[in-house]
């Protein structure tokens, strides 16, 4: 499936991309990282997960990409019930989603094209698919003009765009981003937000965990707020929320 083949709106068969059914995650005997969370994210939606540091945003994303198993409850992603890392086929699941992190950047000894192509090569894609998909992904994030640049030659925002291209290059129906604008200035953050919006317009379900108040306020998309592991707000079109302060 080419990026431009992906039409907007829910795909037939899987209208609900992500379902959390009364999910609790407890790392220790202390306060659980997530507690009794119920939520549904439909296919093709754009959702911000907001909350203070330690609210449970990253834990929620880790459950979706099967890096963590719920202590109680069930997580269903793209029709697959995830029963923890042992129970699910992690590689197969992750090929159906893209993940962008603030702290896992690009490989410094490879150029932009090679960094994006790397994601296809490790899943055994052939040269034809790489030649076709990599420029498409770079086009989508606005980096098609710098395929030969190395990460050290790029700004923080450009590096993050390439990381998003890498997450998208296999045309996954779901994109997860954990603090994608963490180290970026406001203007650059807005640029990344626009890229994510464009990706969503192309039909990809996008879930972004963020601290970036101006970005969330400006985009006015669905906002799910977590506080101390509990879901405290779920607005169809909302802002960051004035009451959020760090809980760590």
Q: How would you list the strands of the sheet with 72-77, edge to edge?
A: 34-42, 16-25, 72-77, 80-82
Give counts: helices (H), strands (E), the chain: 7, 10
DSSP type of residue 177: E
Give the β-pairing of 80-82 and 97-101.
Answer: unpaired
Q: Is 109 in the site for other proteins (CB under 8 A)?
A: yes
Adjacent-strand bridge partners of 131: none
Neighbouring-strand partners of residue 48: 208, 223
Maximum CA extent, the chain: 52
Give the range of 48-56, 71-79, 113-121, 152-160 binding other proteins by CB under 8 A. Answer: 113-121
Of 180 and 241, which has the nearer Cβ to other proteins? 180
Closer to other proteins by CB, 179 or 225: give it: 179
C-beta of 112 vs 216, nearer to other proteins: 112
Choose which of 1, 92, 186, 198 interacts with other proteins (CB under 8 A).
Answer: 92
Tokens of 236: 């169809």
Question: Tokens 């197969």 correspond to what residue?
Answer: 92
74 touches 21 (CB < 8 A): yes
Which residues in 114-173 contact other proteins (CB under 8 A)?
118-119, 121-127, 166-167, 170
What is the DSSP code (8-state) at residue 180?
A: T
Shortest approach of other proteins to residue 94 CB, angstroms? 4
Sheet of strand 46-51, all strands in order from the earlier edge strand to the far edge: 97-101, 174-178, 205-210, 46-51, 222-227, 230-235
Say whether residue 87 binds other proteins (CB under 8 A). Answer: no
Query: CB of 89: closest distance to other proteins in angstroms?
Result: 9
Minimum distance from residue 35 beta carbon to other proteins (Å): 27
CB of 126 to other proteins, least distance (A): 5
Check binding of 93 to other proteins (CB under 8 A).
yes
| Residue-wise DSSP of 206-233 | EEEEE--HHHHHHH--EEEEEETTEEEE
Distance in Å, CB of 25 to other proteins, minimum: 19
Identify the bridge partners of residue 21 per DSSP, sorted by sequence position. 74
Residues 183-222 that bind other proteins (CB under 8 A): none
Stretch that binds other proteins, among 72-80, 93-101, 184-192, 215-223 (CB under 8 A): 93-101
Choice from 8, 107, 153, 186 touching other proteins (CB under 8 A): 107
Among 45, 99, 195, 207, the residue binding other proteins under the rule CB under 8 A is 99
Query: Site residues for other proteins, window 17-76 (CB under 8 A)?
Result: 65
Residues that bind other proteins (CB under 8 A): 65, 90-96, 98-99, 101, 104-105, 107, 109, 118-119, 121-127, 166-167, 170
């Amino acid at each position: 499936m080419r990026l431009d083949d992906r039409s907007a709106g829910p795909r037939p068969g899987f209208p609900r991309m992500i379902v959390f059914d009364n999910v609790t995650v407890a790392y220790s005997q202390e306060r659980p990282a997530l507690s009794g969370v119920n939520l549904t994210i439909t296919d093709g939606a754009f959702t911000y997960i907001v909350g203070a540091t330690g609210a449970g945003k990253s834990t929620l994303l880790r459950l979706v990409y099967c890096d963590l198993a719920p202590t109680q409850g069930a997580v269903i992603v793209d029709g697959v019930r995830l029963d923890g890392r042992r129970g699910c086929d992690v590689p197969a699941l992750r090929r159906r989603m893209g993940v962008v992190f603030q702290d896992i950047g690009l490989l410094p000894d490879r150029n932009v094209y090679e960094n994006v192509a790397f994601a296809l090569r490790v899943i055994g894609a052939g040269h034809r698919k790489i030649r076709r998909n990599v420029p498409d992904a770079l086009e989508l994030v606005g980096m098609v003009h710098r395929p030969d640049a190395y990460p050290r030659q790029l700004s923080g925002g450009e590096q993050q765009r390439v990381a998003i291209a890498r997450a998208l290059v296999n045309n996954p129906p779901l994109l997860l981003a954990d603090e994608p604008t963490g180290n970026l200035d406001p203007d650059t953050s807005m640029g990344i937000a626009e890229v994510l919006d464009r990706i969503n317009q192309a039909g990809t379900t996008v879930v972004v965990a963020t601290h970036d108040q101006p970005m969330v306020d400006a985009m006015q998309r669905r906002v799910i707020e977590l506080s101390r592991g509990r879901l405290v707000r779920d607005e169809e079109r909302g802002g960051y929320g004035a009451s959020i302060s760090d809980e760590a």
